[in-house]
Amino acid sequence: MSAISKEVQIAGAGDEGLGTLMHDIAYAIGQVVCAQTEIIKKLVVAYASGGHVLLDDVPGTGKTTLAKALSKVMSLKFQRVQFTPDLLPADILGVSVFNQRDQAFEFHEGPIFADVLLADELNRASARTQSALLEAMAERQVSIDGQQRKLPALFFVIATQNPLEFQGTYALPESQMDRFAMRLSLGFVPPADEVRILDAQDHHEHPIDCLGAMAAPADLHALRAAVAEVNVSPEVKRYIVDLVGATRATGGVVHGASARASLSLMKTAQALAKFEALDFVTPDHVQALAVDVIAHRLVLNPQARQSGLSEKEVVHSILDQVPVPV
């Protein structure tokens, strides 16, 4: 995190186009979250595509700050839920309370009714509580007391999880992992940037407090609509399907990626093309995002894991083998 002045930071995105807006949002976040330019870019791309993001890393790498910065520069309602073993689904979704004066039940919304939900340390909660997010992430609605309640149109989940080696963590089920468009990892920052973090915290004001709004909800709706209009040729679509399909025929993989992975890869590639001010998707866009979109959906058999094979290596191998359209 770096200290930035309000005057410099809010030197705004202006009306220079939606691709420029994505750049401006990423730049502003980068002034708070140090040395994570590529991760921030992919986070903005995931948001523009309408997908959700899983941040997989150890504590203290800036995951929470990243989520807060994103919501602040985009003028979005932000809620954070700290997942613990005793957290219940009602703590996330909300609960109906009986109003004695009106002799009727009143629904009290839970933190999930936000534009940006930070599900912090998701894999510390029980499977029952984790599953409370499934419908919300897939359909942007929740079912409570037999009623379906719509979530905000710009609803976006940033979930964090600690490595499974950490005490008190539970593996996320495959159905949950499949709901995330991307899995990203921040990692530790270089020493020079860590010094910048110390310098930034040497003031009374937190750097995130200097962030100003750079986009209104109407801009974000327009951005997502524009991303959906980015052209994907039949050849690139087939390339995406071939990449995802290859995961189901690769040795050592018990469960390959589903059609949802193909859809996520296409949508995020469209958003990346828009980020680069293009109105069409190239194979390079697909290749740049394939590992982040596909790897977390794969399940390897015990033999493959014992040999040291990782899901990311499987995807890299597939990228080398599947012919690229020209």
User: Which pLDDT band holds residue 3 (cuts at 50, 70, 90)?
Assistant: very low
Contact call for residues 93 and 144 (beta carbons, < 8 A):
yes
Q: Which part of the chain is CATH 1.10.8.80?
A: 230-319
pLDDT score of 56 more than 90: no
Q: Which CATH superfamily is domain 230-319 in?
A: Magnesium chelatase subunit I, C-Terminal domain (1.10.8.80)
**Which amino acid is residue 1, in one-letter code?**
M
Q: CA 289, CA 189: separation in Å to the nearest integer?
A: 22
- In DSSP terms, 161 is beta-bridged to 56
C-beta atoms surrounding 223 within 10 Å = 23
What is the pLDDT at residue 255? 93
Q: Which part of the chain is CATH 3.40.50.300?
A: 6-221
pLDDT score of 180 more than 90: yes
CATH of region 6-221: 3.40.50.300
- Strand ranges for the chain from DSSP E: 53-56, 78-82, 94-99, 104-109, 116-120, 141-144, 147-150, 156-161, 182-184, 253-255, 299-300
- 159-165: average pLDDT: 76
pLDDT score of 309 more than 70: yes
- 131-149: average pLDDT: 89
User: Which pLDDT band holds residue 11 (cuts at 50, 70, 90)?
Assistant: very low
First to last CA, the chain: 42
Length of the chain: 326
- Contacts of residue 266, defined as CB under 8 A and 6 or more positions apart, other chains included, come to 232, 237, 240, 281
Q: CA 114, CA 163: separation in Å to the nearest integer?
A: 27
Contact call for residues 149 and 141 (beta carbons, < 8 A):
yes
Question: Which of 190, 160, 152, 126 minimizes the C-alpha distance to 57?
Answer: 160
Share of residues in the chain with pLDDT > 90 (%)? 57
pLDDT score of 141 more than 50: yes
Share of residues in the chain with pLDDT > 70 (%)? 91
- 216-220: average pLDDT: 91
| β-strand pairing of 299-300 with 253-255 | antiparallel
CA distances from 229 to 182, 261, 313 (A): 21, 19, 32
pLDDT score of 14 more than 60: no
